[in-house]
């Protein structure tokens, strides 16, 4: 029994010694190793460099796009400037040509206008000018006439073709003037009397209140010419939508206006045609559209003839070149039926 007690006491002493030793030298807890501080800083610096490189690249791309855009804008501005200069040269050349040929006649006409006029000697069209011995083709100014109710009007007179005395009501030859216009513009007229123009439906109505002849002259891109002439031509007034009446065709171009007889005038904002479609919008002009057309003298100007579109919208005369050939030049002109050269 005494041995057992001694053993227990010895074991207790041993445990106490071990506990004291543990308390004096505790083991450190195991923790995951921390990354080296130097490695962490290197990663941050690398990311900063990448961000800086991307920022620089984006800025460079932005500057390049801005430079390219400015280059395109400059090219567009240069082309627009060249176009305006070309248009100015054409207008200037036409103006000088007209001035050279008509300076004397205009001075004589201004003198004649200062004299008192009666209804018998009124100057109201190119035929009346011709009868007063103004026989050079060119631009003239018709004076206002209270008796006939006609305003002052600049016109171009053809004093040579088939005896002369023709007042031009339309011309297509340059291609710089759009004929896709509204009702008011076709009513009052537009364009340059020396270049491409429409005289105006109101003026054409007044010119054709007396029995008149219509002559249409055409030229293609090969230099060939044709004409169509109608021995009777007149328009209704605006209340009747400038309805077309014509008859007695002659010429060598084919009768491509008869289909339009007894039809109202239509424009892009006033659809008076006899068709479900809006012919003026499809054919890009103002005209006496039926459903829709056998001719389209106020259509879009296409260079070099052939144009293939869904809706033939060029300057066409079906009796000569068909629907897909846009003519180079057209003139429409009128004079009284009883005109005598």
pLDDT at 321 over 80: yes
Q: Name the pTM for this structure.
A: 0.66
State how beta strands 166-172 and 153-158 pair. antiparallel
Boundaries of every domain in the chain: 90-255+326-336
Which pLDDT value is given to residue 188?
Answer: 96
Q: Give me the architecture of the 90-255+326-336 domain, per CATH.
A: Alpha-Beta Complex (3.90)
Lowest mean pLDDT across 39-43, 56-60, 122-126, 155-159: 39-43
Which pLDDT value is given to residue 115?
Answer: 44
Q: Could you tell me which residue, 13 or 97, shows the higher pLDDT? A: 97
Q: Cα separation of 162 and 245, whole Å?
A: 23
Q: Cα separation of 197 and 155, whole Å?
A: 10
Mean pLDDT over 225-250 rounds to 97
Q: What pLDDT, in 10s, does the model give residues 144-154?
A: 877 666 778 99
Q: Residue 243: what are its φ and ψ, rounded to 5°?
A: -60, 140
Percentage with pLDDT > 90 across the chain: 55
Q: What pLDDT, in 10s, does the model give residues 245-275?
A: 999 999 999 999 999 999 999 999 999 999 8
In the DSSP assignment, the letter for residue 116 is -
Which pLDDT value is given to residue 120?
Answer: 52
């Amino acid at each position: 029994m005494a041995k057992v007690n001694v053993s227990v006491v010895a074991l207790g002493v041993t445990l106490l010694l071990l506990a004291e030793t543990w308390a004096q030298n505790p083991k450190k807890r195991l923790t995951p190793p921390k990354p080296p501080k130097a490695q962490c800083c290197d990663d941050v610096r690398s990311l900063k460099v990448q961000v800086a490189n991307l920022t620089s690249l984006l800025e460079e791309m932005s500057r390049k796009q801005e430079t390219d855009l400015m280059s395109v804008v400059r090219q567009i501005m240069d082309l627009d400037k060249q176009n305006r200069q070309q248009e100015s040269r054409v207008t200037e050349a036409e103006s000088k040509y007209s001035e050279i040929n008509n300076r004397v006649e205009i001075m004589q006409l201004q003198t004649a206008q200062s004299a008192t006029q009666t209804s018998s000697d009124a100057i109201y069209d190119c035929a009346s000018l011709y009868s007063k011995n103004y026989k050079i083709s060119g631009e003239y100014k018709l004076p206002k006439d209270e008796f006939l109710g006609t305003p002052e009007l600049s016109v171009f007179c053809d004093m040579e073709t088939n005896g002369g005395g023709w007042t031009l009501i339309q011309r297509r030859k340059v291609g710089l003037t759009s004929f896709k216009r509204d009702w008011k513009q076709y009513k009052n007229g537009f364009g340059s009397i020396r270049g491409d123009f429409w005289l105006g439906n109101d003026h054409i109505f007044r010119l054709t209140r007396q029995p008149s002849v219509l002559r249409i002259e055409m030229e293609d891109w090969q230099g060939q010419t044709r004409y169509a002439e109608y021995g009777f031509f007149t328009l209704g007034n605006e209340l009747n939508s400038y309805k077309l009446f014509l008859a007695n065709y002659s010429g060598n171009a084919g009768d491509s206006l008869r289909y339009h007889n007894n039809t109202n005038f239509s424009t892009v904002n006033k659809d008076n045609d006899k068709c479900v479609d809006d012919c003026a919008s499809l054919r890009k002009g103002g005209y006496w559209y039926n459903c829709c057309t056998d001719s389209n003298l106020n259509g879009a100007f296409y260079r070099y003839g052939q144009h293939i579109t869904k809706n033939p919208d060029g300057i066409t005369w079906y009796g000569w070149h068909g629907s897909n050939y846009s003519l180079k030049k057209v003139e429409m002109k009128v004079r009284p039926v009883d005109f005598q050269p």
